[in-house]
Amino acid sequence: MILIGVRERLQPPLPQQYLGNAVQAGFITMKAGEVLEQGLGYVALQMNTVIAMHTEEEFRNYLQSWRENPKIFTPGSLCRSNGFGASSSPRHNVYGTDFGWGTPIGVRSGPGNKSDGKITIFPGAKQGSVDIEACLSPELLQAMGDDAEFMDAVLII
């Protein structure tokens, strides 16, 4: 699942002061073997294709359809049990904001945005770095810890 921003796709675009989400979900379905065989470039091409399909007309058709048959999605319902979800937002200048407590040292999503298998990617505190938040079940974390081949590839600091 990819959340595709529609702010700039609308005519006229939503104003910068608009407070709220303006996104539409795009979905890519691939088998693990296909990803391994084709590589990440192929995955990026599939993502690009899905994003390009989400035009203003497509978004307006989605809104009309939703008005006729509304569906409420929860974060956990958007990812299948063997799915992968990634999200972020370039609109949050978290590290540039100081509420008087000092400069933030980390960014995390709130409890309403957590589901098993979800990965959130935020711009990092240092220029060009990224922070990655991974939400994984305790059972999966234990299985990863018990996997010698996986642990050989992991550096724990």
Note the pLDDT tens digit of each residue in 21-58. 888 888 888 888 999 999 989 999 999 999 999 999 99
98 is a catalytic site residue: yes
b (16+ CB within 10 A) / e for 18-51: eeeeebbebeeeeeeeeeeeeeeeeeeebeeebe
Return the H-helix or E-strand segment holding 134: strand 130-134
* Whole-prediction pTM: 0.61
Return the H-helix or E-strand segment holding 95: none
Q: What percent of the chain has pLDDT over 70?
A: 87
Angle of CA points 56, 78, 32, to nearest 5°:
100
Q: Is pLDDT above 90 for 128?
A: no
CB 51 within 8 A of CB 26: yes
Q: Is pLDDT above 60 for 155?
A: yes
Q: Which of 98, 131, 147, 152 is catalytic?
A: 98
Note the pLDDT tens digit of each residue in 133-144. 888 889 989 999
